[in-house]
Chain A
Amino acid sequence: MLLTTVARQGLCSSRLQFGVLYRHAVPMGTTAKEEMNKFWTKNTRLNRPVSPHVSIYKWSVPMMMSISHRGTGVALSSGISAFALAALVLPESYPYYLDLIHSMSFGPQFLAFSKFALAFPVAYHTFNGIRHLIWDLGKGFRIPEVYRSGYIVIALTVVTSIGLAAM
């Protein structure tokens, strides 16, 4: 009780004193980016080996889902860029090439499978993206919650992809 009273008195005058202490501090002259660059140039120059990380750490579902989110994102982006490039380069129109593919008479299973293969990364990236946005709101960080939301994303992805492939 005596300690609390003394501490409270200390608080009132500590602000002024601490302000003095802080005035001796100088702001850092470098940004985080500059510091990271310094780290990398120094360590690559010294040819230092990187500690094993992904090769030794036990893989978990959240880890795999995280890199899959990145993987599907890169794949989808590359697909869109490839499509855009094709649109600029190829001479004929889209319906022409679509009919060309259909005239090659692949079985209905192949068409359904390719629809599934297209829908799956879109669905996964979308649902996991929502999961990320929920984290950005600050919710769902407890480990059981991370796993639960992860399994929900996987389930929704499979169901949605099958549903879209059936359309």
Chain B
Amino acid sequence: MAALVRISSVCHRGVSPLLFRSSSLIRPLAVQKKDRDCPYSISAKIHATPSNYAGSGSKAASLHWTGERILSIVLLGLAPVAYYYPGPAVDYTLAAALTLHGHWGLGQVLTDYVHGDFKIKMANAGLFLLSTVTFAGLCYFNYHDVGICKAVALLWSK
């Protein structure tokens, strides 16, 4: 009754009922009813990647997301450390964390607003160049000049 209606509604909307795969709403009778109502195959409308499907996609995007969050938390923790324990170790860690956080953040901005294969490639190349120069510049500053922590302290001392 309700289950039959739900299955037949798939034929009109093409929404994957596979989300309900393990729900009690799907009944064997429903399959035959569907065949009567919809002569065409339902396979074209199904788009689902259940977790038990063998290696049909990579976890790269998901891992990237997690990496972004972990880096954010690391950067958050670096702030008090930089205040209480300034020095070269914190300077270089700060340089790396800030650059990478900015690189990934700007990467998301580009993904949102830049479209088209070539433009995306060019924009990402430009970003990579910018981030490399930024990191190089910060490391140079840490090595040849006063360093990030000291720089902030000097800026604020006046």
Contact = CB atoms under 8 A, between A and B. Distances in A.
A85 B24 contact: no
B57 to A, nearest CB: 8
B133 A88 contact: yes
B33 interface: no
Contacts of B72: 129, 133
B140 to A, nearest CB: 6
A24 B43 contact: yes
A72 to B, nearest CB: 10
Interface hub of B26, B47, B154 (most chain A Cβ within 10 A):
B26
B60 to A, nearest CB: 11
A47 to B, nearest CB: 14
Given A81-B137, A93-B144, A98-B154, 17 more contacts: A10-B3, A10-B29, A22-B18, A22-B46, A25-B46, A31-B57, A44-B115, A77-B102, A80-B134, A81-B133, A84-B137, A84-B141, A85-B133, A88-B140, A94-B154, A98-B155, A102-B158
Contacts of A80: 98-99, 102, 134, 138
A87 B137 contact: yes
Nearest to A129: B72
Interface stretch (A12-20, A55-63, A151-159): A12-20
B26 A14 contact: yes
A-B residue pairs, 8 tightest by C-beta = A84-B137, A77-B102, A10-B27, A40-B115, A25-B46, A87-B141, A17-B28, A84-B134
B49 interface: yes
A77 B115 contact: no
Contacts of A133: 69, 72-73
Question: Which of the four size classes fits the interface of chain B?
Answer: 35 or more
B137 A25 contact: no
Contacts of B138: 80, 83-84, 87
Contacts of B26: 10-11, 14, 18
Interface of A: 3, 7-8, 10-11, 13-15, 17-18, 21-22, 24-28, 31, 36-37, 40-41, 44, 70, 73-74, 76-77, 80-81, 83-88, 93-95, 98, 102, 111, 115, 126, 129-130, 133, 136, 164, 167
B156 interface: yes
Interface string B68-102: 01001100100100000000000000000011001
B37 interface: no
Interface in B97-113: 98-99, 102, 105-106, 109
